[in-house]
Amino acid sequence: MGVMPMYGVAIREAIASNDLAKMEAVAEQAKQTVKEQGDISAALFELLDAIDSLKGKK
């Protein structure tokens, strides 16, 4: 398996595959991504707030 971006789609595809080895590999990759990048959803909310703030200043 090549490098796969860790988005919900990749994780859900691994679940749907019902392939234990693939699921374990994707889980390990997701854990590493979270370790390296932290909570990307929190960062996204901060970004969206910053965008909204800038739009409100126009």
Under a CB-based contact definition with an 8 Å cutoff, are residues 29 and 4 in contact?
yes
Q: How do residues 4-49 score in pLDDT, each as one tens digit?
A: 565 688 899 999 999 999 999 999 988 888 888 887 788 889 999 9
Whether the model pTM is above 0.75:
no
Residues in the chain: 58
Tokens 């703030």, located at residue = 53
Domain range summary for the chain, segments of one domain joined by +: 8-56
And the tokens for 57?
A: 């200043």
